[in-house]
Structure 1
Amino acid sequence: MNSKIEVLSTVTIQHSDDLYKIVDLLNRTLKREDLMFGLALDDNDKDRAIFTIYRT
């Protein structure tokens, strides 16, 4: 099976403890639309998070 993940958009935002809840909600709600959402701490600034939207 050949699966390709395409990055649609990336934004750096202020980190919040509840951001993972939004990402989880988006992933559960929009997986049927072949969308996936990611969240990672910025390596250079731990007060910032990187939010990414993917098409699977």
Structure 2
Amino acid sequence: MSIENNKPDKLELIAQKSFENYKEMYKVVDFLNRTLKEKQVIFGLTKGKDGNMTISIYET
């Protein structure tokens, strides 16, 4: 629980999109997270067993 606003710290999934593997996509996700952290959004990246990648957007 956050001390400042007494609200639970929870991420809410806004959107997800899967696509073919792009080996430098982690750089894009890192850039987005660093640039948009003040906007209360977080980007996640996962790689599935099939080799496809999924980008997720969360709101804090």
Q: Same fold (TM over 0.5)?
A: yes
1:21 matched residue in structure 2:
27
Structure that is richer in strand per residue: 1
Runs of 5+ consecutive residues of structure 2 not aligned to the other structure: 2-7
Larger Rg, first or second structure (1 or 2): 2
Bigger relative contact order, structure 1 or 2, given CA contacts below 8 A and separation 6+? 1
Deviations along 1:7-29, one digit per CA (max 9) or x if unpaired, are 00001011111100000000000
The answer to whether 1:54 aligns with 2:58 is yes
Q: What is the root-mean-square deviation of aligned Cα atoms in Å?
A: 0.7
Unpaired runs of 5+ in structure 1? none
Greater than 3 Å deviation, 4+ residue runs: none
Task: Within 5 Å, give how 1:1-56 maps onto structure 2.
Answer: 1=1, 2-43=8-49, 45-46=50-51, 48-56=52-60
TM-score by length of 1: 0.90
